[in-house]
Structures are given as C-alpha cells and as structure tokens.
Structure 1
C-alpha cells in the first residue's frame, strides 16, 4: 500500500488500531454513487473521478468472472427535496440530484449490463433505508468490496455501516474518489485504522481470481 495511506503513528499501532479483518468466503461489490452528478466535474457536487471509474470497472470484471454479486447505487430526490430530510439544509448542491435527471444516472463509463442490481438511496450509507443488508445475507455474502464516491462521505458511511452490520469491508483506494485529496487520504487512513481493510486494487483482484462463487439471484 502507498506509504501515505499507512498508519504511521506508533501510538495507534501500540493501541491495536489497524488490525486486519481479512476477506471472508463470499464477496460482493458495492459501487457507491458513481453517478454523473458526482463524476462530472462541471456539476455542483462533481469531481474528476475517471481513474476511480476505471479501477471500479476492473473490479466489476473480476466479480463477473466469479459470479460475485454486484450492487450499483444511485441517489436522487424529489424536486422539492422533501425526501432529503434535514440533510438538504447542509448541502445546496443536493438540488442538482433530482430524480429522473441525467445527474442521478450511473456514469456511462461504468461497465453495467442489463439486469444489474441498481438501488436508490437517500442518505450517505448504502445501508440507510435500503434492503442491502437483507440482499447480502440472502446471497451468502460476508465480505463487501466498497468502491465509488465520495471517500469521505458515502463510501466511509457505507463502510462503517457494513462493519456494524457484520460484514467485512474491503476498500481499494484506487477505486474510490473525492473532491478533496486531503479528505480522500484521511478517510482511507481512518477506515483502515478502525472500520475495514484498505487493500491495493491489484491485491483485491488477485484474491478474487483465487476464489469461485455461484451466481446468486
């Protein structure tokens, strides 16, 4: 892993932070909010996340080869933002994420196919107000590989909820992105210290290539 993304505080290591959760037996891929509103830098909430999209596509391909479940997530709101709760008071840019608009569609660079699981959410975590946990349990999943955006927001929230729900979160740093480089790096350090394993993309793909799983409905 990049030295900048490793826990370098001796006190953290002494206190036992950053121990490995490791991969379980059955993985699923969660692609968080890779929608045009976030991956188009011209949009209010957008940033240039081309490299994260390309890295995610490598994971999508690896998961398809072994039949591992893939869940794509988008986020969208009514025109009056009445379904955004108090969160809409915090970020004016949420008004750019209206249901039915191009901004809430998955980035066209993503390698999606007909029949893919595409779920919609309203809040940061992919587990909040959705049936994701139930789907994962029914698919026999114990490990979730989390990609998407943003690292400091919806990715981090999803990772925290994943470990709280009994799943093993794995994050490939190349496959997540943020508007802020500093927030991206700090969030990866935070997740790796306390909530999941930050594992280089090539290592995640190498692990997937070593296992085989049946396709689950």
Structure 2
C-alpha cells in the first residue's frame, strides 16, 4: 500500500466504499443522549448543538407521524461515586455529574417526547450495553435502526457498532448527529459509513418516514 494514498483510496483498496444496505420493513429511532448534560455548555460534557437538536427533532416528529417506535437514551449514574459506570467514569470523571433525577439527565426540552416513547437509561456508551434495548426491539419486530444524537464519536458510534453486531440495518442521518469536535464528528461519520451504517442526509430519512 502506497503511504501517499488518500484516505478514500485506502478505504477503496480495502473494499470499504459506499455499499448501501437500505431500510428494512420495520424501523425504529434511537435518540442518543440528547439530554441537558450533553447539550448545555454549563455542564463540562455539554456542547452547543442547536442545529443537531433541530434536525433530530424533525426525525422524531416524522417517526411519530409514521407510528415508528422511538427510544430516547440517557446516560445516568445512580451511585454517588458513579460506581455503576465503572472504568468509563474513571476515564471521564465529568460523567459523575450525570446523577439520576438531576437537571443533567433530563431530556433536552427542545425534543418532542411523546408519552408512548421509551426512555432508556444506560451507564455505558452503547445503548445496547446492559439494557433492555435489544429484547425490546426484537419483540417489536424491528429490523432497522435510525440512530441520531450525540456524540458522534462516542455514544452514537458505540450504539451503531452494537446495532450492526446485533443484526439491525443501521441508518445515521448526517445533520441529526453532533459532537464537541468537528474533526472527530467528520472522521467518525466517514468511518461508520464505510464499515457499519448508511450515513445519509436527514432529508432522505424524512422522505422515507413520510412514505410510510
């Protein structure tokens, strides 16, 4: 392999080019950690992501209109020292701010949360790790996950990886995910699109839901 090859050439050489898998028959939406602790810069974990929140809410509203299951995840610790997060909180001590029943674990009020939506609390990056998500999606007959939220390089990516590993077609709407780092956001979108998910425009996702 030539060390001067571009990123695109390297991935093409490995056969990791755009290979759309598309939507299945029964989608669900997983909204990853659009909670105050991640979207309010007063928290050390928080970022200013107004456009991401707006796009994400458009997808949620379209999902509601199409009668698609919607799951909102929250990263929450229920121990004073975040012992339930294990090494994750040792690596990122600011996670200890995400104490249960505080403002930081509340879903951002710009999101339209319906009473039928499921709120899922997690202690690790992936929405699948140690949670009821997989069994619930299987019971609902879901075959496709639309994953959105934050952060692209962290909890979104981990959830996407586990979604694919568990056999779900996985879709990531570009504008409906966000990160505290533009560089990491773009790099992880590229990588997920090459290896795991269909990374497509939010407009295309909305068109899909509106066609249901």
Output the TM-score relative to the length of structure 1. 0.91
Superposed counterparts of 1:1-217, under 5 Å: 9-18=8-17, 19-77=19-77, 78-211=79-212
C-alpha contact (below 8 Å) 1:152/1:187 kept by paired residues: yes
The offset of 1:27, in angstroms, is 0.7
Alpha-carbon separation, structure 2, partners of 1:63 and 1:111: 11
Aligned-residue CA RMSD in angstroms?
1.3
The answer to whether the 8 A contact 1:79-1:99 is kept is: no
Question: Equivalents in 2 of 1:152, 1:115: separation in Å?
Answer: 29
Deviations 1:156-187 (A, max 9, x none): 00000000000011000100111000010001
Greater Cα shift, 193-202 or 81-90: 81-90
8 Å Cα contact 2:69-2:117 kept in structure 1: no
Structure 1 residue 8 displacement after superposition: 6.1
CA distance in 2: counterparts of 1:190 and 1:84, whole angstroms? 27
Which whole-Å CA distance do the structure 1 matches of 2:149 and 2:156 have between them?
A: 7
Q: How many residues matched?
A: 205
Moved more, 155-164 or 96-105: 96-105
**TM-score (norm. length: structure 2):** 0.93
Give a deviation string over 1:127-183, Cα, whole Å, max 9, x none. 000111111111111100000110000000000000000001100010011100001
What is the distance in 2 between the residues matched to 1:95 and 1:12? 38
- Indicate the residue corresponding to 1:4 in structure 2: none
Q: Which moved more, 1:142-151 or 1:9-18?
A: 9-18
Cα distance in structure 2, aligned partners of 1:125 and 1:9: 28
Q: Residue 160 of structure 1 contacts residue 195 of structure 1 at CA under 8 Å; is this kept in 2?
A: yes
